[in-house]
């Protein structure tokens, strides 16, 4: 069971949310599909018993509830405070800062990626996004970023590799 992977994903998502909307000492919730949780945990099926076993010295215990396609996982205010005090963002902070500015180009976004490591940049062949970008060695992170140039600004969505592959873009 890869509880460390779930802890890392939750911390990354909390950090990203705090960088985008600010920090408040309060719980935060994220919806996960069952399939995504299976990818993160390295299991074939996820259930209440598996999630109930999650423990983290960093973010504490989680609460969860079943939703239509998976689970809503909530991290307590202790966990959000831990992330606020210990994770300042680095790459993701620079990426968010760049895409939130109007007038930035996709090349400006690529520059942020290149500043942090060796990246793979692929032009997309679908209507969902324009570019796929990820770090070849998974450092500083192993997410797949779907980049869209909307003219006045650039947007992104990030996925774990397995979820991205499930989309069959």
87-138: per-residue pLDDT in tens? 987 999 999 999 999 889 999 999 999 999 999 999 999 999 999 999 999 9
Total-model pTM: 0.95
Pairing mode of beta strands 144-149, 131-135: antiparallel
Q: What angle do CA 148, 22, 79 make, to 5 degrees?
A: 110
Q: Say how far apart CA 71 and CA 36 lie, in whole Å.
A: 10
Is it the case that residue 76 has pLDDT exceeding 80?
A: yes
Distances (CA, A) of 16 to 43, 48, 68: 26, 26, 25
Q: Say how far apart CA 77 and CA 24 lie, in whole Å.
A: 8
Q: Quick one: tokens of 85?
A: 């005090």
**Cβ neighbours, 10 Å, residue 36:** 20
Distances (CA, A) of 118 to 21, 53, 98, 113: 29, 36, 19, 8
Strand ranges of the sheet holding 154-159, from the earlier edge strand across to the other edge: 119-123, 131-135, 144-149, 154-159
Q: Say how far apart CA 3 and CA 56 lie, in whole Å.
A: 8
pLDDT at position 89: 77
* pLDDT digit string, tens, across residues 131-167: 999 999 999 999 999 999 998 889 999 999 999 999 9
């Amino acid at each position: 069971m890869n509880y460390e992977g779930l802890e890392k994903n939750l911390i990354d998502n909390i950090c990203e949310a705090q960088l985008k909307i600010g920090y408040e000492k309060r719980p935060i919730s994220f919806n996960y599909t069952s399939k995504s949780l299976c990818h993160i945990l390295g299991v074939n099926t996820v259930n209440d018993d598996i999630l109930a076993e999650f423990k983290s010295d960093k973010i504490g215990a989680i609460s969860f509830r079943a939703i239509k396609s998976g689970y809503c996982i909530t991290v307590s205010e202790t966990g959000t405070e831990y992330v606020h005090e210990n994770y300042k963002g680095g790459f993701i902070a620079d990426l968010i800062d760049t895409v939130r500015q109007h007038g930035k180009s996709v090349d400006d976004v690529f520059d942020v990626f290149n500043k942090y490591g060796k990246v793979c940049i692929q032009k997309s062949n679908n209507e969902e996004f324009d570019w796929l970008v990820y770090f070849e060695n998974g450092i500083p992170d192993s997410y797949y970023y779907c980049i869209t140039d909307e003219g006045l600004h650039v947007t992104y969505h990030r996925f774990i590799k397995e979820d991205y592959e499930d989309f069959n873009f």
